[in-house]
Amino acid sequence: MPTYLDHAATTPIRPEVLIAFTTALSSVGNPSSVHKFGQEVRNHLEAARESLARSTGANRSEIIFTSGGTESDNLAIKGLYWQRSWADAERKVIITAATEHHGVLDPIYWLADNQGAEVEIVPVDSRGVFDLGWLETYLAENAHRVALISLMWINNETGVIAEMQTITALAKKYEIPVHSDAVAAFGHIPIDFASSGLAALSISAHKIGGPVGTGALIVGRSVKLTSLVHGGGQERGMRSGTMDAAGAQAFALAAELALRELPGEAARISALSEVLVGQILRIAPDAVLSRGDANGLAATVHFTFPGCSADSMIFLLDAAGVSVSAGSACTAGVNRPSHVLLAMGRTEDEATGALRITLGYTSTRADVDRFLEAFPSVHSAAKKAGLPSK
């Protein structure tokens, strides 16, 4: 039986969510219509909004439904930048980190290339931890030039967890809005938007057992964004278009289930992760846990294997019926080392040997054992094959 250990790429849709989703898809009516069909769908949509707000510690009016994490990141970053820079021409700086997901980095550099934005990069150490001392100093000297800060809550490749409330507290002194891509965090750690200090937060359904194509951007009630899409003015005028009521209902249910199970699942996943890490180091003593001793998400086990090619290991593991990845699924198939690891100071050769094993609600000890059974021969073969020629 195939073993799936790539939950950070996408998690299988939960059976209860699939039933709710397909049932909702059979409903007829546009949620903006005034007749009874439309209003019935609208009621379901708003119930989902209320539910997701409870799951995220937000006000229902702060939930803006989107198509997923990438759209949410684009709306937050471009929307905040335009709002702030158009109101104050001196505010051109966007602060981010080189370890961010491309859903954050690409819109930021698009703004730099096309809209006059200036990008400042928060340094990270060898574990991927943000240098908040640098951030504090930079803000003290340049806060008047900063439009926004965008830093992810949990890194999608290494699993390192950021000190988000420290970041927002530093920014609050200068009234600078902070956006966080929390796609890798939501459903895995408690998220409370109200106390986070964030202006905007991106989340996605398919990372927690919901359907692909549904996400949300949580936007503070006092925060204004310039919309990317203009039309009917739905979603507080921030995201025009007919709302996906079925997707919203499925997302809300997936969030409810993930949050309900979180305490027990965290302990269960932590135990599985401990076995994985310990046994991988026994099999490959020279392997390096990417985040080192930094605070990290147990569900994400990310190693670099000296002298090995990730492509070789992934191919051999897949042939043995075990599915893992080298990093973000959004850059899979791109023939270059992880930008995250390079930003953490790894050489190209070191970054080439990265493997990401990620656990989720379907993961069992049997899955871990199947990986560990296949891995010794895979590692040995990959070591023998060596790195690809340049």
Q: Catalytic amino acids?
A: 330
- What burial class does residue 87 get, using C-beta atoms within 10 Å of its C-beta: 0-12 exposed, 13-18 middle, 19+ buried? exposed
Tokens 């040997």 correspond to 353
Whether the Cβ atoms of residue 186 and residue 56 lie closer than 8 Å to each other: yes
**Residue burial 164-180, b: 16+ Cβ < 10 Å; e: rest:** beebbebbeeeebbbbb
Residue 329's CB is within 10 A of a number of other CB atoms, namely 14
Q: What is the length of the chain?
A: 390
Phi, psi for 266 (deg, rounded to 5): -60, -45
Helix, strand or coil, per DSSP, at residue 320: coil
List of residues 6+ apart from 261 with CB closer than 8 A = 361
Residues 52 and 10: their CA atoms lie apart, in Å, by 19
Residue that is written with structure tokens 């709306």 in the block: 75
DSSP H/E element including 250 = helix 245-283
Q: How far is 208 from 216, CA to CA, in rounded Å?
A: 13
- Terminus-to-terminus CA distance in the chain, angstroms? 36
Q: Is the dihedral of CA 69, 75, 81, 84 positive or negative?
A: negative
**What are the CB-based long-range contacts (under 8 Å, 24+) for 26-33?**
27/245, 27/246, 30/242, 31/242, 31/243, 31/245, 32/232, 32/234, 32/242, 32/243
How distant is the alpha carbon of residue 5 from its chain centre?
17
